[in-house]
Amino acid sequence: MIVWVNGAFGSGKTTLVEELRSRWPEALVYDPELVGYVLREIVDVPTGDFQDLRLWRRQVADLAVGLVEEYGRPLLVPMTLVDPGYVGEIFGKLKDAGIEVHHFFLKVSQETLEARIDGRSFTPDDPEQDARVRRWCKGRIEPCLAAADLLPSETVFLDGELPPTRLADLVLARVGADGGR
């Protein structure tokens, strides 16, 4: 089983996955962003977004399948993924492998997202890079919010402004895990 936690930057994906992991110890956490970081070290990313690399999408799906098959444990995936074609490509490969995918999208207002992004430090030792990353994240808010209407029909939308403990309760109930309770 894969629990994919989606949403705009600053929506609380990582925080929710950390809460889920603490309550569901057998689950593994897989962050596809790490695949993107590796690819950036090897090849150019002309658009600046590693999701645009076909190889990233293929590797993300293949590694997720491998982790589930090899370890037989649930997989928690915190990753913004809103391009309908990319969602179809990755989720299609997961479903073709016979893996149950639970897809959650954290809905958060633009104002809250901007405030959360402003409150984070991405590269504390490099203020210029920190500002660039913050601008990039903020520039992706509107496309992420607009894309919510194009996500698969089985996507479960959650109020990302709820406390992480409450969101974890909702996710665990939906996927049929007791979270250690």
In a domain, 180, yes or no: no
In a domain, 62, yes or no: yes
Domain holding 113, by residue range, is 2-172
State pLDDT tens for residues 65-124. Answer: 999 999 999 999 999 999 999 999 999 999 999 999 999 999 999 999 999 999 888 888
In a domain, 52, yes or no: yes
Tokens coding 118: 């402003």
Q: What is the CATH number of the domain that holds 16?
A: 3.40.50.300
Q: Residue 119: what pLDDT?
A: 87
State pLDDT tens for residues 5-62. Answer: 999 999 999 999 999 999 999 999 999 999 999 999 999 999 989 999 999 999 999 9
Q: Residue 180: what pLDDT?
A: 47
Length of the chain: 181
> 10 burial class (0-12, 13-18, 19+ CB within 10 angstroms)?
buried
State mean pLDDT over 127-152. 90
State pLDDT tens for residues 19-33. Answer: 999 999 999 999 999
Q: How many domains does the chain contain in total?
A: 1
In a domain, 34, yes or no: yes
In a domain, 26, yes or no: yes
pLDDT at residue 4 tops 60: yes
In a domain, 177, yes or no: no
Tell me the pLDDT band of 178, cut-offs 50, 70 and 90.
low
Q: Residue 179: what pLDDT?
A: 58
- In angstroms, rounded to a whole number, what is the distance separating the alpha carbons of residues 145 and 8? 7
- In angstroms, rounded to a whole number, what is the distance separating the alpha carbons of residues 96 and 69? 13
Among 109, 68, 77, CA closest to 3: 77
Contact yes or no for 116/15 (Cβ under 8 A): no
In a domain, 44, yes or no: yes
In a domain, 181, yes or no: no
Q: Residue 124: what pLDDT?
A: 84
- 2 three-state secondary structure: strand
